[in-house]
Chains A and B, each alone.
Chain A
Amino acid sequence: MADAKEPKPEFTRKVIEAGGATVNLCFQCGTCTGSCPSGRQTAFRIRKLVRRAQLGFEEDVLPSEDLWLCTTCFTCYERCPRGVEIVDIVMALRNMAVRQGHMAEPHRKVAELISKTGHLVTLRDQDKALRGKLGLDETPPTVFSDSKAQEEVVKIASLCGFDKLVAEGGK
């Protein structure tokens, strides 16, 4: 007889508190998986991810690559017959996963850039030149044009511990 894993309701409670309030409404019909554009290309099964979150199988969920294959397209969320807010559950799980160090380097780099500059891409000379050619200000009227505004955004990262989170890769 196969070993059955014991559910861990304390983890499920954490998921609920972190924003996955509807996780227990799921009755595993699979409409989500059938609607998932990412699952069509990969072995990712969003229904299973929700089930594991429901059962509190933290060790299966948080380190999994599957957690990061959701494009947050909301198709499953729209079609769920039980009103499970699936994307909110994915977000709650991802927030927990990064705090355990499950943070991919390309994501960490993007987060670091925002944390330090307020934008997720840089302003290169070629961008300035093109903007100028199009009749736009070479530097957009955002935090890139206003160092005080940029400092405010950097301070938000610091107050939320976001700068530390991304600098340390969640560990």
Chain B
Amino acid sequence: MAKYGFFLGCIMPLRYPGIESSTRAVADALGVELVDMNGASCCPAPGVMRSFDQTYWMAVAARNLAIAEKMGVDIVTICNGCFDTLFEVAHKLNHDEELRAKVNKILKDAAGVEYNGTVTVRHFVELLHKEVGVDAIKAKVKGDKPLKAAVHYGCHFLKPSNIKKIDDAERPRIFDDLVEAAGMDSIAYKDKGTCCGAGGGVRARTPDVSLKMTKENLDNMTSAGVEVIVDCCPFCHLQYDVSQPQLKDYNIPVLHLSQLLGLAFGLDKEKLGLECHQVKVNL
């Protein structure tokens, strides 16, 4: 299988490094080669940075894309926010020479590099589903302890679907397939496809509003008898993990898909970084 540039972003390596160690271990177990993108930065985050200045947002993203291009690899990320920025900016720059020239002028002056529009950006969920496949994942799963899992897609993995074209944005299956391959029971719950409440700068600027959205989701999950939340984005992960102790009354463990697969594959629990979660994980 091809090699992929592993884009780290910020929240994963700096706040939930267990997601990083899990992703590296799971990729290794599945024969997906991840190579470090040395010198990469924040994607930059689509919430605040795109809101402030779209030229800066594109230029910093293009520098990250250029790192992968120079390495001759496509990019994979386990974060919806990083995926959104890098995918959208690659989509714009790969198809618009005039815009690429404008951004490249900044890149050349700042870093002496150019982005030539050749990189494809992949989300880990989509990469595993399409390149590794559900059967190969099932074959690695040890033990049999199905839990009622709330699969949380988040917003920017599938949407905007007119350019991402990964799965149906209203009724997707792709992520559920992987969670079920890991032996879980992906259950239906109200407003499953909705936002965790953190995005767009809302968590930072109006935490009360952000928390209300999260609370409604947690209530919907609780009503459905959920035993574990599975996400594919460290920011959604943080939102669910940090908000539950703030809201009290909730105690649903939160796992990133990489951590769930790590558990399902029987990998060393110590390397999954579960002890830094606010909501204790005893699965």
Residues of A near any B CB (own CB < 8 A): 19, 37-38, 40-42, 65, 68-75, 77-78, 85, 87, 90-91, 94-95, 98, 103-104, 106-107, 110-111, 114, 118-123, 127, 130-131, 133-136, 140-143, 145-146, 148-150, 152-153, 155-162, 165-166
Contact = CB atoms under 8 A, between A and B. Distances in A.
A80 to B, nearest CB: 11
Contacts of A157: 56
Contacts of B32: none
Interface stretch (B70-78, B128-136, B140-148, B200-208): B200-208
Contacts of B52: 94-95, 98, 103, 107, 111, 162, 165-166
Contacts of A73: 155, 159, 194-195, 199-200
A78 B159 contact: yes
Contact of B204 (A75, A87, A110, A119): A110
B206 A69 contact: yes
Interface of B: 8, 10-11, 13-15, 17-18, 20-21, 24, 36-42, 44-56, 59-60, 63, 106-107, 109-111, 155-156, 159-161, 169-170, 191, 193-195, 197-202, 204-206, 209-210, 212-213, 216, 270-271, 273, 276
Contacts of A78: 159-161, 169-170
Contacts of A87: 160
Given A72-B155, A107-B204, A134-B273, A153 B41 contact: yes
Contacts of B109: 155, 159
Nearest to A72: B200
A104 B209 CA distance: 15
A74 B160 contact: yes
Contact of B205 (A42, A107, A131): A107
A155 B276 contact: no
A134 B51 CA distance: 35
Given A123-B14, A134-B271, A153-B41, 18 more contacts: A41-B213, A68-B206, A71-B200, A72-B47, A73-B194, A74-B159, A77-B160, A94-B52, A104-B201, A106-B205, A107-B204, A111-B52, A135-B21, A136-B24, A140-B8, A142-B37, A149-B40, A156-B107
